Amino acid sequence: MIQTNDGKILAIEKLSWDDVITAITPTNPDLAKTMNLLDNTVDYRFYKASYRFGDKIINDGKYYLPLQDGGSVAFDDLDLPEPLLHDLSYGVNEDPLGLILSKNSEFHLISKDGVQTQSIISPGQMFGVPKAIDSSNNTSTSVLQSNLNAGSRSLFMLSKISDNIDHSKIQEHFGITLPAPATAQDHWKIFVEIANRANSPWRCEVIYFSRDWINQLNNDEWAIIAKRLTENHRASYNMWHNVAATWNKTFAEIELDKKMSKYYSMQSLNTVRQLFMLSGGITYGFKPATDESAAPITLIEEAYTNVYEKLAKQNYRAVIMEAAKFSNEEPIYYSINHSPSTQNDLEASGHRSQIARLDEIRRVEENYTKTILEEKKSIHTLYKVIDSIIFSYYHNNPESYNKIHSANLIATEDNRFTNGVEETFPGTSLFFRGCIKVSPKP
pLDDT digits (tens, 9 = 90+) for 58-69: 998 889 999 999
pLDDT at position 300 over 90: yes
pLDDT for 31 equals: 93
Distance CA 12, CA 48 (A): 5
pLDDT for 61 equals: 83
pLDDT at position 127 over 50: yes
Instruction: Kindly report the length of the chain.
Output: 442
pLDDT for 25 equals: 97
In order, the DSSP letters of 305-351 are HHH-HHHHHHTB---EEEEE---SSS-EEEETTSSTTHHHHHHHTT-
Per-residue confidence band for 20, with pLDDT thresholds at 50, 70 and 90? very high
Distance CA 57, CA 74 (A): 9
- Domain segments of the chain as ranges: 2-151+201-235, 238-284+325-440
pLDDT for 113 equals: 72
Helix (H, G, I), strand (E, B) or coil at 13: strand
Nearest to 58 by CA among 136, 134, 142, 153: 153
Q: Are the C-beta atoms of 126 and 232 separated by less than 8 Å?
A: yes
Per-residue confidence band for 314, with pLDDT thresholds at 50, 70 and 90? confident
**Which residues, in sequence order, are bridge partners of residue 365?**
none
Helices (H), 216-284: 223-235, 238-257, 260-263, 266-279
384-405 tens-digit pLDDT? 999 999 999 999 999 889 999 9
Query: Rounded to the nearest 5°, which phi and psi values hold at 48?
Result: -105, 120
Q: What percent of the chain has pLDDT over 70?
A: 91
Distance CA 7, CA 204 (A): 24
Where is 300: in which H helix or E strand? Answer: helix 297-307
pLDDT for 239 equals: 59
- Those residues whose C-beta lies under 8 Å from the C-beta of residue 34, and which sit 6 or more positions away, are 224, 225, 228
Q: What percent of the chain has pLDDT over 90?
A: 67
Query: Rounded to the nearest 5°, which phi and psi values hold at 104?
Result: -110, 155
- Those residues whose C-beta lies under 8 Å from the C-beta of residue 131, and which sit 6 or more positions away, are 93, 94, 95, 139, 141
Where is 363: in which H helix or E strand? Answer: helix 354-375
Q: CB under 8 Å, gap of 24 or more: what pairs does 163-172 form?
A: 163/308, 163/310, 166/308, 166/309, 166/310, 167/308, 169/307, 169/308, 169/309, 170/194, 170/303, 170/304, 170/307, 170/308
pLDDT at position 35 over 50: yes
In order, the DSSP letters of 92-159 are TT---EEEEEES-EEEEEEETTEEEEEEEE-TT-EESHHHHHHGGGT--------EEEEB-SS-EESS
| pLDDT, mean of residues 86-105 | 83
pLDDT for 345 equals: 54
| Winning range, highest mean pLDDT, from 76-90, 116-130, 208-222, 387-401 | 387-401
Chain-centroid distance of CA 202 in Å reads 17
Helix (H, G, I), strand (E, B) or coil at 438: strand
Q: Are the C-beta atoms of 10 and 36 separated by less than 8 Å?
A: no
Q: For domain 2-151+201-235, give its CATH number from 3.90.1150.10, 2.60.120.10, 3.40.50.300, 2.40.50.90.
A: 2.60.120.10
pLDDT for 350 equals: 59
184-202 tens-digit pLDDT? 989 999 999 999 999 999 9
Lowest-pLDDT range, 232-236, 251-255, 308-312? 232-236
Q: Are the C-beta atoms of 90 and 96 separated by less than 8 Å?
A: yes
| pLDDT, mean of residues 20-41 | 91
- The answer to whether the Cα torsion of 25, 31, 36, 42 is positive or negative is negative
Distance CA 171, CA 169 (A): 5
Q: Are the C-beta atoms of 423 and 316 separated by less than 8 Å?
A: yes
Distance CA 183, CA 181 (A): 6
**Which residues, in sequence order, are bridge partners of residue 330?**
none
